[in-house]
Amino acid sequence: MINKVVAGPAEALRGLTDGMTLMLGGFGLCGIPENSIQEILRLGVRGLTCISNNAGVDDFGIGRLLQTKQVRKMISSYVGENAEFERQLLSGELEVELIPQGTLAERCRAGGAGIPAFYTPAGYGTEVGQGKEAREFNGKMYLLETALHADYAFVKAWKGDTAGNLIYKGTARNFNPMMATAGKITVAEVEELVPAGELDPNQIHTPGIYVQRIYQGQNYEKRIEQRTVRQG
């Protein structure tokens, strides 16, 4: 069995260069590849296209890459927590493609499944549908949406083994599993790395066949995007 373990993010991101397209898993600030994002920041690569459900917040997640102007284009579905994102969008510094959340997930899944395009009713009759092919099925209009792919897909899992098999926890399953299938090179960082054969095969969410590099991350902040508490 192939051992896919690398020493850390520096080795995991080997080959990353300017102008590449990246998928970054997670939902809000949950399950984001924090260590890989930090390494992208350190490398200083620029002109990136980032496919992610969200853009992080100003000082965390993809928001840090926006602050350093390393991102040329964002393909996302929710970006409302990032003031720097808003500023760059309104000033024309950042190209943005906003996609309905379910459509974004399916475009990533289609990319991993080898499906070039699919029809969905989401967005028909709105700005989302401008310039896209539309077709009627059973009396309802649908838009043609194309699959998404990336040079690198960065995902974060709860547990992984040396063969690249991954288990996610809770909300981290929202985008990580489909993005893990759609990268030419998929890099997984995990909270706990175990020997191959130690994970229950029935619990694995991403089979190791999709993962090229895996490493054990460290110093996870696990921040909360919006903290809500009851009155005392």
What local confidence, expressed as pLDDT, does residue 47 receive? 98
What is the mean pLDDT of the segment spanning 138-161? 98
- Secondary structure in 3-state letters for the chain: CCCCECCCHHHHCCCCCCCCEEEECCECCECCCHHHHHHHHHHCCCCEEEECCECCECCECHHHHHHCCCEEEEEECECCCCHHHHHHHHHCCCEEEECCHHHHHHHHHHHHHCCCEEEECCCCCCHHHCCCCEEEECCEEEEEEECCCEEEEEEEEEEEECCCCEECCHHHHCCHHHHHCCEEEEEEEEEEEECCCCCCHHHCCECHHHCCEEEECCCCCCCCCCCCCCCC
Tokens representing 1 are 């069995």
Residue ranges covered by each domain of the chain? 9-116+148-216
What pLDDT band is residue 228 in, cutting at 50, 70 and 90? confident
What pLDDT band is residue 223 in, cutting at 50, 70 and 90? confident
Phi, then psi, of 33 in degrees rounded to 5? -80, 75
Q: If we measure between CA atoms, which residue out of 111, 193, 109, 206 comes closest to residue 151?
A: 111
Question: How far is the C-alpha of 164 from the C-alpha of 109, rounded, in Å?
Answer: 19
Task: Answer whether residue 208 shows pLDDT above 80.
Answer: yes
Q: What is the Cα Rg of the chain in Å?
A: 18
CATH hierarchy code of domain 9-116+148-216: 3.40.1080.10
pLDDT tens digit sequence for 152-199: 999 999 999 999 999 999 999 999 999 999 999 999 999 999 999 999
pLDDT tens digit sequence for 39-89: 999 999 999 999 999 988 888 999 999 999 999 999 999 887 788 998 999
Question: How far is the C-alpha of 6 from the C-alpha of 105, rounded, in Å?
Answer: 28
Q: Above pLDDT 70, what percent of the chain?
A: 100
Find where tokens 């590449």 sit: 20
pLDDT tens digit sequence for 94-127: 999 999 999 999 999 999 999 999 999 999 999 9
On average, the pLDDT of the chain sits at 94
